[in-house]
Amino acid sequence: MKKTRLLAATAVASVAILALAGCVQSSAATSLDTDGSADQALTVLISGGENIQALWEDHLIPAFEEENPGYTVAVNLDLHGEHDAQTMAKLTSATEQEKDPGFDLVDGGFVPMAAEAGLLTPMTADEIPAFNDIPGDVVEAGGAGGIAYRGSVVLLAYDTATIPTPPKTLDELLAWIEANPGEFTYNSPKSGGSGSAFVATVLDKYVSEDARAKMTVGYEKELESEWTEGFETLRSLNPYIYQNGFYPNGNQQTLDLLASGEISMAPVWSDMFISGKKNGAIGESVNYTQIADPSFTGSAAYLGVPAASPRQEGALKLANFVLTPDAQEMIVNEIAGFPAISLDLLSADIQNEFEDADTGNLRKGYFSQMGSDLSNLWDQEVPGQ
């Protein structure tokens, strides 16, 4: 049986569509060599951070262009997905009118939504052979046109200098927090996914299996009553949280508190933690584990080929390139993302890097609108209460 990596049971936590004004930033103008042709000039639209832009521009694209002479690839960056609503509207209009949307591959959290809306070219293992090396539930979560290409999960980071044996279950973690006041915190759910994952995991302790299954795939507001007991538990932790209830603003601030020794334990994103270890920002004594019963959630990142793009062949070639072992190793090395394909297709060093990953204890996040309600209710129910 192939050894799979941490993406194995994660599914996308789709971004909320924000109706914000503005336009996408173009980081490079599309250009053609004199020997090139229009269908070999591709554009990738990134709805994400500058680290993802750098991954594409500095690593994936140069390697693709070297391997595929005649092709050129430009990047359009929508920083942090501020204009996702406009991108969806543009895709919708282009699909309905059968007009070129101006980009050929999308990298963003809204890809599964676009796939569900029929705005992307459907993909199977015939078009994307690497689907055979990606867990089926991850492929399914991307919808008919989503192409999983990397992942991340929330881990429990802790300082081994003061915690030789970390909690292994949620109940053990909650007991540890109360027994060690001031040594733990998490960022507010609105400010980052690591804090949101902790909150969701506590809520899920009390949510029925059937209800949660519905809440991960659709908006089921009437089921939010099952969160009541979980919010009571979170509220009861206030006196034991760092500085009697200080919740950092963002994933990075949480990580900074841990790295500086202000706290001893916190939920953190895997890619941020691994990057911090590599660059020395996080000390050698800080390690990570994964909890169970229930575990923290994680997410996959998806690519999509707009159905209206006239450059289908080139876009498909680029998507398949990103799923090659060489490209997957770039993702691991440059942004500490989890590879989408099986670990046994990658180098021994990378296999060793993820050898402690527990692939059996990762869960889907809530549906985007459910996640938005979760964040709003946390603001009302937890801090200062």
Read off the pLDDT of residues 224-282 as tens digits, 9 standing for 90 and up.
999 999 999 999 999 999 999 999 998 999 999 999 999 999 999 888 898 888 889 99
Same domain membership, residue 192 and residue 100? no
Tabulate helix, strand, coil % of the chain (nearest 5). 45, 15, 40
Interval 40-54 mean pLDDT: 91
Query: Exposed (0-12), middle (13-18) or buried (19+): which is 126, by Cβ within 10 Å?
Result: exposed
> Which tokens is 106 given?
């999308």
The answer on pLDDT for 385 being more than 70 is yes
The neighbouring-strand residues paired with 152 are 299
Which candidate, 184, 309, 192, places its Cα nearest to that of 258?
A: 184
Angle at 338 (CA atoms; ends 337, 340), nearest 5 degrees: 120
Residue type (1 letter), 119: L
The answer on pLDDT for 29 being more than 90 is no
Same domain membership, residue 136 and residue 44? yes
Q: Say if CB 316 and CB 42 are below 8 A apart.
A: no
Residue 22 lies in a domain: no
Angle at 41 (CA atoms; ends 40, 47), nearest 5 degrees: 125
Same domain membership, residue 201 and residue 132? no
Residue 32 lies in a domain: no
Residue 224 lies in a domain: yes
Give DSSP secondary structure letters for 299-366. EEEEEE-BTT-S-HHHHHHHHHHHTSHHHHHHHHHHH-PEESS-GGGS-HHHHHHTTT--TTS-BPPP
Q: How far apart are CA 222 and CA 274, in angstroms?
A: 39
Which candidate, 6, 1, 4, places its Cα nearest to that of 296?
A: 6
Q: Say if CB 48 and CB 150 are below 8 A apart.
A: no
Same domain membership, residue 344 and residue 328? yes
> How many domains does the chain divide into?
2
Q: What confidence score (pLDDT) does residue 358 get?
A: 53
Q: How far apart are CA 209 and CA 229, in angstroms?
A: 15
Same domain membership, residue 231 and residue 169? yes
Read off the pLDDT of residues 301-348 as tens digits, 9 standing for 90 and up.
899 999 999 999 999 999 999 999 999 999 998 888 889 998 889 999
Residue 23 lies in a domain: no
> Which tokens is 328 given?
């997957």
Q: Say if CB 89 and CB 294 are below 8 A apart.
A: no
pTM check: above 0.75: no
Residue 20 lies in a domain: no
Domain span including residue 219: 152-296+362-380
Same domain membership, residue 260 and residue 114? no
Residue 31 lies in a domain: no
Residue listed under structure tokens 């053609």 = 32
Same domain membership, residue 376 and residue 241? yes
The neighbouring-strand residues paired with 287 are 158
Same domain membership, residue 196 and residue 173? yes
Q: Which residues contact 131 (CB under 8 A, 6 or more apart)?
A: 123, 124, 125, 139
Q: What confidence score (pLDDT) does residue 33 get?
A: 38
Residue 204 lies in a domain: yes
For 76, phi then psi, to 5°, come to: -110, 125
Residue 50, domain CATH: 3.40.190.10
Same domain membership, residue 322 and residue 253? no
Q: How far apart are CA 149 and CA 320, in angstroms?
A: 10
Same domain membership, residue 234 and residue 130? no
Report the relative pairing of strands 41-48 and 105-108 from DSSP bridges: parallel
Read off the pLDDT of residues 60-113 as tens digits, 9 standing for 90 and up.
999 999 999 999 999 999 987 888 889 999 999 999 999 999 999 999 988 988
For 152, phi then psi, to 5°, come to: -155, 155
Same domain membership, residue 283 and residue 209? yes
Residue 240 lies in a domain: yes
For 85, phi then psi, to 5°, come to: -60, -40
Same domain membership, residue 256 and residue 195? yes
DSSP 8-state symbol, 175 = H
15-24, 45-54, 161-170 — which one is most confidently predicted on average?
Answer: 161-170
> Which tokens is 155 given?
């881990």
Q: How far apart are CA 169 and CA 201, in angstroms?
A: 11
Identify whether 101 is preceded by a cis peptide bond (ω within 30 of 0): no
